[in-house]
Amino acid sequence: MRKNIVAGNWKMNLQPAEGAALVQELCPQTETLQHSGVTLIVCPPLIYTAWALSDWQREGRIEVGAQNCYHEASGAYTGEVSAAMLANLGVGYCIVGHSERRSLFGETDEVVRRKTEAVVAQEMTAIVCCGETLDEREKGQEKAVVARQLREALRGMSNEQMKQIVIAYEPVWAIGTGKTATTAQAQEMHAFIRSVLAELFGSETAQNTSILYGGSCKPENAAELFACEDVDGGLIGGASLNAPDFLAIANSFQH
Ligand code: PEP
């Protein structure tokens, strides 16, 4: 079943005490959100994950996600953390293929596929990111780019494994820029993504896969975006660093 999800990607922001204070503000709201069918996920910097799991999940029912992982289970990969390590800690979600990972750390479609596979193999949910750059949109290539990213990332997945996949459409030109896709642009691309999923996995899987929008989503535009038929929630960067804004976004679904 398609879920309404709002995931906060803190990126490399907030010192531990700031993160803890932010979550203290979120905790009292999570139960109400859950009752209204909204899953709230916080993806802090990796090093906070262990205490995030012990403190936050005890205090409120906040789901903890990771922003990245490595695809190998163990070995000589200095500085990396495996999906198996995250899963063993109790992390439920992992963002894969964020555009910053692709552009700053050279992650290719093949790396994204291997990470997606590793996350799913560990029974976590992979939040698989896709999205075109401004240049690609201006050349009219946005659908071709997104289709390629999805086909590559999801190659070899079974319908059963697709239950552990959430897609995040994040036009690169909208991430952290203050520019948001219009509702028409978002809906068009989300419907297209669902059609690619239908082609790859059949219509039932396509209908049951949550597709999140990311890119300067804020309280002022979340309701309009989430009202689109194929937008099932959001992956939120900047606005997830402020509890009232993040909660306002999470409360923007019209049920
Ligand atoms: C993101 O980092 O995934 C993101 C969507 O950032 P922002 O909301 O700040 O554009």
Residue 176 or 231, more confident: 231
State how beta strands 38-43 and 93-96 pair: unpaired
Answer for the pair 251, 221: CB distance below 8 angstroms, yes or no.
no
User: pTM of the entire structure?
Assistant: 0.96
Give residue 57's pLDDT. 66
Give residue 163's pLDDT. 97
- Residue located nearest, by CA, to atom 7 of ligand 1: 237
Neighbouring residues of 30: CB distance < 8 A, sequence distance ≥ 6:
40, 60, 61, 62
Give residue 180's pLDDT. 86
Tell me the percentage of the chain whose pLDDT exceeds 90: 85
Give residue 198's pLDDT. 98
List strand residue ranges (DSSP E) for 156-249, in order. Answer: 165-169, 211-214, 233-236
Active site residue 59: no
Helix 142-153 × helix 183-201 angle, to 10°: 40
Residue 248 has pLDDT above 80, yes or no: yes
Could you tell me the sign of the dihedral formed by the alpha carbons of 196, 197, 203, 207, in that order?
Answer: negative
Active site residue 98: yes
Using one digit for the tens of pLDDT, what is the confidence trace for 13-69?
999 999 999 988 998 888 889 899 999 999 999 999 888 887 776 666 789 999 999
Using one digit for the tens of pLDDT, what is the confidence trace for 192-204?
999 999 999 999 9
Residue 191 and residue 211: Cα distance in Å, rounded? 9
Residues contacting ligand 1 via CB (< 6 Å): 9, 170, 175-176, 214-217, 235-239
Using one digit for the tens of pLDDT, what is the confidence trace for 134-173?
999 999 999 999 999 999 999 999 999 999 999 999 999 9
| Rg, Å, the chain Cα set | 17
Sort residue 49 into left (φ over 0), alpha (ψ -120 to 50) or beta.
alpha
- What average pLDDT is seen over the chain? 94
- Residue located nearest, by CA, to atom 2 of ligand 1: 237
